[in-house]
Every structure is written in C-alpha cells, then in structure tokens.
C-alpha cells in the first residue's frame, strides 16, 4: 500500500464550527506533514510530526491544532477559522524522519476546505 489517504475530500464550514481533517498512511513512514496550498501557489509547510512527536510548527495560528494519535494517523483540528483559511490541505509522509535527508514526500489528494 503506497497511498496516503485523506478525508474528507471537501469540507465547508462556518467560522464558528469545529471540524477535523484526517490523514492515514500504512507505509511505515516515520514522518508526517500538513501542508496548506492556495490556488496557483506551492504547498506551504504547516506542521511536521516525526516519530509521532511534533517537530515543526511553522508559526501556524492556534485555530489549527495538529494531532498524531499513532504512527499511521494524523489529524488537523480546525476551530474558529477565517475565510482566508480556505485552501487545499495536503497531508504527506516520508520514510525518513525529520532532520534526516529530506526524502520523497508521498502526498494525499488533499482536503479542500471552504470557510464561509
């Protein structure tokens, strides 16, 4: 299984809602990532978990809260988001741990989030 699976594929939420994005990989990868991608822009790193521990938080607002329940799962909890947070949220995993030579990133197809 060489896939990274993300759910839901689409999400519409109001500014007062609480929702979560989920990501799963069964490749035994040591690091998992959340990226945010706006239209016609490159993916921007938000968080990195390495060996289930938060390694990188790229100054992301606290309305985004990551969680790594185990080595295969990664969640992104969303609360009190703003319309400018509307974007494609990509999950990725890599075989190597954070801090080692950045290897191939395996991306999921993303969750397209719209904040009203």
Query: Which residues of the shown chain bind another protein in the complex (CB under 8 A)?
Result: 4, 40-45, 90, 96, 98-110
Least distance (Å) between residue 115 CB and another protein: 20
* Cβ–Cβ under 8 Å, residues 115 and 86: yes
As measured in angstroms, the least distance from the Cβ of 62 to another protein is: 23
Considering beta carbons, is residue 15 or 54 the nearer one to another protein? 54
For residue 113, give every residue at least 6 positions away whose Cβ sits within 8 Å of its Cβ, in sequence order, or none: 11, 12, 13, 21, 78, 81, 85, 86, 87, 88, 89
Gap between the Cα atoms of 48 and 14, Å rounded: 27
- Name the residue nearer to another protein (CB basis): 73 or 97: 97
The residue among 102 and 114 lying less far from another protein, judged by its C-beta, is 102
Query: Could you tell me the smallest distance in angstroms from the CB atom of residue 1 to another protein?
Result: 16
């Amino acid at each position: 299984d060489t896939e990274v699976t993300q759910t839901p594929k689409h999400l519409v939420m109001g500014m007062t809602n609480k929702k979560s994005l989920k990501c799963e990989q069964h490749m035994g990868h040591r690091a998992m990532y959340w990226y945010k991608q706006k239209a016609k822009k490159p993916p921007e790193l938000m968080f990195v978990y390495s060996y289930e521990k938060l390694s990188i938080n790229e100054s992301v607002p606290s309305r985004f809260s990551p969680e790594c329940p185990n080595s295969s799962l990664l969640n992104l909890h969303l609360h009190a988001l703003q319309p400018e947070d509307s974007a494609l949220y990509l999950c990725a995993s890599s075989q190597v741990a954070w801090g080692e030579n950045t290897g191939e990133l395996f991306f999921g197809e993303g969750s397209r989030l719209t904040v009203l």
